[in-house]
Structure 1
Amino acid sequence: MSKERWRPRLATVVVAILIVVMALPLVGLFFFRLYENQLIRQTEGELIAQGAVVAAIYADAVRAAGIPPDKLGAQMPAVRDNTNYPYEPIEPRLDLASDDVMPTRPAGLPETADPALAAIGARLDGILDETQKTTLAGFRLLDPHGVVIAGGDELGLSLGQVEEVRQALAGSYASELRLRIPDQPPPPLYSVSRGTKVRVFVAMPVDLDGKVAGVVYLSRTPNNIVKHLYGERGKVTLAALAMLGGTLLIALVFIRTVSRPIYALIERTKRIAAGDRDAMRPLDHHGTREMAALSAAFLDMAAKLQARSDSIQTFATHVSHELKSPLTAIQGAAELLRDSGGTMDEAERRRFSNNIVTDAGRLNLLVRRLLELARAENLAPSGESTTLNAALALLPVDTRLEAHIEAGGDASLGISGENLAIVLANLIDNSARHGAREVTIGAASAGERVAVHIGDDGDGISPSNRTKVFEPFFTTRREAGGTGMGLGIVLALLKAHDGTITLVDSARGTRFEINLPGV
């Protein structure tokens, strides 16, 4: 036996969606690397700008001091691209995704600086200290051999062995990401971001007439979004509460507009299936327009099924009653013939035999009419069309009365000729059975539909019976062989072709109006 396919409950799906919605901001913390990378490049760009200013001041001081070229450093490399001459912009190039994070910067080594350059550095040292208070960047001014001549507490130490400084001493701009030793315990959220543990180092060569006059060495810890969020934890908490409230509001709206009506409709379905007729009423709360439409469609279907069930039950009762009478008569006559022995004379035997034949014929007629009714109720429209003239030509000539068309004989009707002939035959037969000698038929177009009038000069229908003529098995000629199913077959055939039939008032006889689609 195959296992039932697992399907999640609606509540499970809703809870899962809400959890995902709530988790999205938290998951977003792990995608801060892109923003961290932008912050690092922003920091590098700021250091480049600050370094360029310090380099220009230092170069001007060296030129003013008249330092000879032999005391300067390496030759600056030739500029390969002169497109922007005389401008030589330096673009930030650090990337968290591709650049390795270097170890912490090595300590400086003792070294002696050129006294003239050291004097220049001493004059600039105060400027660098004041600048650092505003920019929070670390400044080191190095001579052409990498010895610190200004900035911080590393005066007289050589940083020439540091990779980025070595490149700058050779005349090329260099920058690195290095691990830093934080001077305060980091908050717990720091573990989420790589950027909080790094420091940006920039080494910019000082160009003086094509030779390296020194290096401006800068460093700063980049800003960090997580640190910013931690600093704004009060606002972040309020935002989280707002997000939680919004999620709960979404859940409340979803439950009220979708979940609750669905469960109410399920409960209503169970009640209807159990036979509770009171359950076939609109829901107290539909939630959405679509749910209201679904509920209305379901309840309409349930009402039609219930009506269909009632109709079948009533029909079965009528059928059993109609079949029971002739069967009882046949059984009684047969028992009398069987039990009479030889005492029953020929006249009585013939009378009972005739009764059996008559009732058997009635049963046969009933069965045929039931089959015709079943075919009519299950008939699918064929898409054919016909006219009154064509349908009337299919009928055999009825010697009991005359049927003729007054108007609209060529009007095209959305029904096959065979089925329209059956409709006309039943109505004409009813007219003949009720004393009519003439039947008149006419058709008139009314927009996209055609109204067909059929009237006779017969006895008509009494006021008390006018509301019963379309009921199954209703007939006033039962003793004459009437089954009461003719109008039922007519009604079923017309309904299958989107048509209707009504009994209309008439000064004489009986008059029906048939409404069918025109073609």
Structure 2
Amino acid sequence: MRLTTSSKWSGRKWRPRLATVVVAILILVMALPLVGLFFFRLYENQLIRQTEAELIAQGAAIAAIYAQEVRDAGISGDKLGVPMPEANGTANRGADSPYRPIEPQLDLASDYVLATRPAGTPATADPAFAAIGARLTGILDATQKTTLAGFRLLDPTGVVIAGRDEIGQSLAEVEEVREALAGHYASALRLRIPNQPPPPLYSVSRGTRVRVFVALPVAVDGKVAGVVYVSRTPNNIIKHLYGERGKVTAAAIAILGGTLLIGLVFLRTVSRPIYALIDRTQRIAAGERGAIRPLDHHGTREMAELSAAFLDMAEKLQARSDSIQTFATHVSHELKSPLTAIQGAAELLRDSGSAMDDDERRRFSNNIVTDAGRLNLLVRRLLDLARAENLAPSGESTSVGAALALLPVDTRLAVRVEAGGDLALRISAENGAIVFGNLIDNSARHGATQVSITAASAGGKATLLVSDDGAGISPSNQARIFEPFFTTRRSTGGTGMGLGIVLALLKAHDGTIRLVDTERGTRFEITLPVA
């Protein structure tokens, strides 16, 4: 039972179509910028760090001014706060180093976003500190107009002494302020809007809804003289992208255009030639001889080589099919003639009975024997041709003299080796004897009385000239002498397969044979590798 196309493919492993793979790759290429948006959080975290660093710098400047005001006011002793920790801000530096750098510490990926800053509670500040705050209010307001940061100046107890509408409010219970009053730098991320849930950890716009708070302790005489409390909303990535919207749009267009260009190039150079080759394959399989021709467009060198190799294979298979068909036609014709003669003679012998005399009966019997012998010879020659065409070289070597020694003694022809009789040829002695035997037999059938052989080598190849003094081959028949079953001596028992066997044997041993011009008789030129 023959399988249909669908049933043949149904049991095979599923594989995606080339177009599906290409589309998936193009979608992935287009999605990469979108996936990159999730990594913008890293950039947004950098903006948070940058804001904290700026607030530290601004707060340090205000702290230096405030500390000088405290010293000028003569405030000391019990009016100051707790002692400053000795190791505060001296990481990787000696205790005597004059530098106390403070590095940004906030991280969107790990720090918890606190709720909005709690409101202060009413309190009373020391008049001396309140007077300092009043003098610095103008400086803080002027600085805020430029930096957009919110400044609060706190005394050693956490009461606001400068900071617009929160003067007289205590912020001592605010977490970061409490840390600063103890002499430690503190920073925090807090929500800008009350009653808003904290942003997800991997939110792209996480930094747009938070505010950075920095609390720096002010040291005077080794004690906490107050706190500079600074806050500001950081720049966010959405704002930056909007500011660069022209470039972002151009980049998006470039990505889309590049993706389409990749698709078009892939379609033209890979996909279209493959589908064209598939169509050509189907047409060749349907028997369309005109389909065995190069593709109109190959796209790539590899595709051109694949197409050329496929079409070359198709041509060889077509030639092989034609050869088999022709060969089958010849074989059927060659076998049909003697079989018809045998059948006719046998029927006459059966139907005539006693009416046929002994001479006629003997003549018809001889015809049957002759035609049966011809059939036997044809079968043997067909077997010899099949062996020759499927022969694998054995790697053996022989010489002209050794191959001729295997031939039976034939008194009709004299074979003379004029030169190169000991030259080693890459062919077995048995196969060499078959080649020379068929050529000598062919010469004998064309009236030759002598065959001469000359051998010479050059460049790893041996050239043999096999000549006879027979009647030669007519120009009209020279192009057909290697065709199977072609013979001009059919009446004398010729099968027309001798030269075909010779040609097949020589091809199997990387050799060639051709007819060359000569003034008399026939001359063949044979080439074989030298052992």
Query: TM-score under structure 2 normalisation?
Result: 0.90
Gap regions ≥5 residues in structure 1: 183-189
1:83 has 2:83 as partner: no
The alpha-carbon deviation at position 407 of structure 1 amounts to: 3.2
How far, CA to CA, are the matches of 2:442 and 2:47 in structure 1? 96
Tell me, yes or no, if structure 1 residue 349 matches structure 2 residue 357.
no
Q: Residues 117 and 271 of structure 1: is their aligned pair in 2 closer, same or farther, counting only changes over 3 Å?
A: same
Equivalent of 2:134 in 118, 122, 130: 122
Query: Is residue 170 from structure 1 mapped to residue 182 from structure 2 by the alignment?
Result: yes
The 5 A counterparts of 1:487-498 are 487-498=499-510
Q: CA deviation at 1:384?
A: 4.0
TM superposition shift of 1:152? 4.2
Moved more, 162-171 or 1-10: 1-10
Q: Structure 2 counterpart of 1:11, which letter?
A: A
- State the one-letter code of the partner of 2:34: L
What secondary structure is seen at the aligned counterpart in 2 of 1:250? helix
Alignment partners' CA distance in 2, 1:422 and 1:249: 65
Residue from 399, 411, 427 that aligns with 2:439: 427
**In 2, Cα distance between equivalents of 1:390 and 1:136:** 110
Matches within 5 A, 1:234-273: 234-273=246-285
> Which residues of 2 match residues 16-415 of structure 1 at below 5 A?
16-79=24-87, 81=91, 83=93, 85-181=97-193, 192-415=204-427
| Alpha carbons 2:276, 2:295 under 8 Å: kept | yes
Paired residues of 2:41 and 2:203 also in contact (CA < 8 A): no
Residue aligning to 2:462: 450
Q: Is the 8 A contact 1:101 1:179 kept in 2?
A: yes
1:101 is displaced (CA, Å) by 1.5
- Aligned residues: CA RMSD: 2.3
For residue 101 of structure 1, what is the amino acid of its counterpart?
V
Output one character per residue of 1:468-512: Cα deviation in whole Å (capped at 9) or x when no partner. 111111112212221111111121222223222111112232221
Partner letter of residue 55 of structure 2? L
Tell me the distance in 1 between the aligned counterparts of 2:380 and 2:500: 13
Q: CA offsets per residue over residues 59-89 of structure 1, 9 Å max, x none?
A: 2222232211322222121226563633332
- Contact 2:218 2:224 (C-alpha < 8 Å) held by counterparts: yes
Matches of 2:144 and 2:456, distance apart in 1? 101
Give me the whole-angstrom Cα distance separating, in 2, the residues matched to 1:411 and 1:114. Answer: 125
Q: Which amino acid aligns with 2:465?
A: H
Code of the aligned partner of 1:20: L
- Which residue identity lines up with residue 334 of structure 1 in the other structure? A
**Secondary structure of 2:354's aligned partner:** coil
Counterpart secondary structure, 1:265: helix
**C-alpha separation in 2, matches of 1:16 and 1:413:** 60
Query: Percent identity of the aligned residues?
Result: 80
Q: Deviations along 1:133-159, whole A, 9 cap, x unmatched?
A: 332222222222222222343222222
Question: What is residue 10 of structure 1 aligned with on the other side?
Answer: 18
What is the match of residue 186 of structure 1? none
8 Å CA contact retained: 1:436, 1:456: yes
Q: Give the count of matched residue pairs.
A: 512
**Is the 2:385–2:504 Cα contact (8 Å) retained in structure 1?**
yes
Residues 114-171 of structure 1 show CA distances to partners (whole Å, capped at 9, x for unaligned) of 2222222222222222222332222222222222222343222222111111111111
Whichever residue aligns with residue 97 of structure 1, its letter is A
Amino acid at match of 2:206: R
> 2:330 & 2:139 partners in 1: Cα distance?
114
Q: Secondary structure at the match of 1:285?
A: coil
Change (3 A) 1:143 1:366: same
Distance 1:221 1:407 in 2: 106
Query: Alpha-carbon deviations, 1:342-372, whole Å to 9, x = none?
Result: 1112222122111111111111111111122
Aligned to 2:293, the other structure's residue is in SS state coil
Contact 1:30 1:193 survives alignment (8 Å): no
Whether contact under 8 Å (2:160, 2:166) holds in the other structure is: yes
- d(CA) in 2 for partners of 1:221 and 1:373? 95
Shift of 1:464: 1.6
Q: Could you tell me how far apart the structure 1 residues matched to 2:47 and 2:523 are?
A: 92
In 2: Cα distance, 1:343 partner to 1:486 partner: 43
Question: CA separation of 1:24/1:82 partners in 2, compared to 1, >3 Å: closer, same or farther?
Answer: closer
Deviations 1:222-265 (A, max 9, x none): 22223322344444334323322222222222222222222222
Change (3 A) 1:73 1:477: same
How far apart in 1 are the matches of 2:432 and 2:456?
16
The code of the aligned residue for 1:273 comes to A
For structure 2, the residue ranges without an aligned partner over 5 or more in a row are: 1-6, 195-201
Distance (whole Å) between structure 2 residues aligned to residue 94 and residue 472 of structure 1: 93
8 Å contact 2:41–2:204 — kept in the other structure?
A: no
Q: Distance in 2 between matches of 1:482 and 1:452?
A: 25
CA–CA separation in structure 2 for the residues paired with 1:32 and 1:229: 11
The letter of the residue matching 1:447 is G
* Partner AA of 1:71 in structure 2: K
